Amino acid sequence: MKSKVVSAEAAVSRIADNAVVSVSSSSGLGCPDKVLEALGARFEATGHPRRLTTLHPIAAGDMYGIKGIDHIARDGLLDRVIAGSYPSGASSLPMPEIWKMIVENRVAAYNVPSGILFDMHRDVAAKRPGVLTQVGIDTFVDPELQGCAMNEKAEAAPIVKRVDFAGDIWLHFDNFAPDVTILRATTADEHGNLTYEHEGAYLGGLDQAIAARNNRGLVIAQVKRVTAAGSLRPHDVRVPGHLVDCIVVDPDQYQTTETLYDPAISGEIIHPLADFELAEYGVEKVIARRAAMELASGQAANLGFGICALVPRILLEEGHAGDVTWAIEQGAVGGMPLTGFAFGCASNADAFMPSPNQFTYFQGGGFDVTFLSFLEVDRKGNVNVSKLGKKPYLTAGCGGFVDITANARKIVFAGLFEAAAGLNLTSEGLFVEKPGKFSKMVEAVEHVTFSGERARENGQDVLYVTERCVMRIGDNGLVATEIMPGIDPERDIIAASGGRVSVAENATSMPLSLLSERKMGLKI
């Protein structure tokens, strides 16, 4: 058998003009960066391939050293991008090239929920006529709003429409058949069988490979090393070799953002619980503590980025680390979800699910509760996490947020009531000493990533947890049902929100234990 191991340059030379290219990645996690770099270099040298459409169920690359999609963010090379998320980072960092292309209308860019993008790959592989789903109705995904379009170029070429089916309203996404899939694993044998023993997640590489193969396409796999044929355990092979055409070796590939390799992320060792840092005392910890009070022992919970990522550390500190099973969209189940650059991974995981299967679980609402952050909330209870017009790259887009919230039984949103307010935490209460620059409680969110009205129609249990109060959606808008001691309801909630939040007559006090510098005594 002819060797499948080739240089990155040889692999990308097989990608034709106008190809649809599917990339398996989650920011730095599982990113086939060497292949993407070679693709960008080939275009610089030859002017080809041109006018590519790329599919990214989760972001490819980050802003901290793994360029990913930025390698191919070039005029003429990239014509259309359909992604669940995009590289994001701090405002102090330069805007990524892909974001410049989007805001300057130089590429048609779409933000499609990650689960729907995985559904697209499965449906096109099975020759079904596109994705039919109710995920995203009444949000920016809906063509009655933005229809996933991120700029004018995308608006001019819609990819989703509303349809009537079986007496109900659905969203229908057209098929995008991959001509090429680029994925990443740890080890390939000489026949192209792939194992993932150093990876922090399987992501969707198998589904993406099948989608390309079933459409007579090309599959390129980047790996850390190559071993002899027949030396891999069949149970360990996640992508079989008959689906793989080219193997590109990068012995220096990073496991995830700013992490060359941590065996606990890939489940090869188990860290003692004492190794994990607890949440630092401050306002965010106070919010995370209140969110954690919504948990019960034995539950399965989903976790999003931001303040909510601290909730597992609250449970750790309070002696409940194993009482809840966490499930995150990249695929880890159980263990200790990581924070910061390593978010999306977990140490000491019980299992790793392929992301497409994890999203099937999420879309159907099989878990008990989800903890998610917010950028802004409006008086209808709508939430925006997916768009910031002034600094677009501060948010990655929707990712799995829309899939997760579509049928979740219970949703706990967490965030600051105002931006950059002067807050004083004491054992007696939380005091606002200086008003914030602006309220996160707005008249109308810039992007509807979550529809408060649809949630009420569906009977979902929704809370909004901030440092000042806990809110719910009432008949006339947001209502504060719990008030933090020290907070002046009229000044710090009603006036600070411009009257968009009212205070319930029977509002109760949030427990002072949330403000303790010691353990709060959480019972779940």
Whether residue 436 is predicted with pLDDT greater than 80 in this model: the reply is yes
> Are 189 and 232 contacting, i.e. CB atoms less than 8 angstroms apart?
yes
| pLDDT given for residue 343 in this prediction | 83
Nearest Cα to Cα of residue 293 among 16, 46, 522 = 522
The residues, ordered by sequence, that sit 6+ positions from 235 with a Cβ below 8 Å of its Cβ are none
d(CA 434, CA 468): 14
Pick the CATH number of 8-249 from 3.60.20.40, 3.40.50.2000, 3.40.1080.10, 3.40.50.300: 3.40.1080.10
| pLDDT given for residue 1 in this prediction | 77
Domain boundaries, the chain: 8-249, 282-515
| pLDDT given for residue 389 in this prediction | 86
Mean pLDDT of the chain: 96
| pLDDT given for residue 444 in this prediction | 97
Indicate the pLDDT class of residue 342, thresholds 50, 70 and 90. confident
| pLDDT given for residue 141 in this prediction | 98
Backbone angles phi, psi at 152, to 5 degrees: -65, -35
Nearest Cα to Cα of residue 318 among 342, 349, 346, 297 = 297
- CB count in 10 Å sphere of residue 250: 17
**What single letter denotes the amino acid at residue 202?**
Y
d(CA 71, CA 79): 14
Query: Of 199, 294, 329, 467, which is the active-site residue?
Result: 329
What is the sign of the dihedral through the CA atoms of 306, 307, 312 and 316? positive
- Which run of H or of E encompasses 10? helix 8-12
Q: Could you read off the pLDDT of 238-287 as tens digits, one per residue?
A: 999 999 999 999 999 999 999 999 999 999 999 999 999 999 999 999 99
Decide: helix, strand or coil at residue 434: strand
DSSP string, 198-225: T-S--TTHHHHHHHHHTTT-EEEEEESE
**What single letter denotes the amino acid at residue 6?**
V
d(CA 380, CA 444): 8
Q: Could you read off the pLDDT of 185-241 as tens digits, one per residue?
A: 999 999 999 999 999 999 999 999 999 999 999 999 999 999 999 999 999 999 999
The residues, ordered by sequence, that sit 6+ positions from 51 with a Cβ below 8 Å of its Cβ are 17, 18, 76, 77, 79
Q: Could you read off the pLDDT of 345-390 as tens digits, one per residue?
A: 999 999 999 999 999 999 999 999 999 999 999 999 999 999 998 8
CATH 3.40.1080.10 assigned to 282-515: yes
Q: State what percent of residues in the chain have pLDDT above 90.
A: 97
Known catalytic membership, residue 97? no
Decide: helix, strand or coil at residue 171: strand
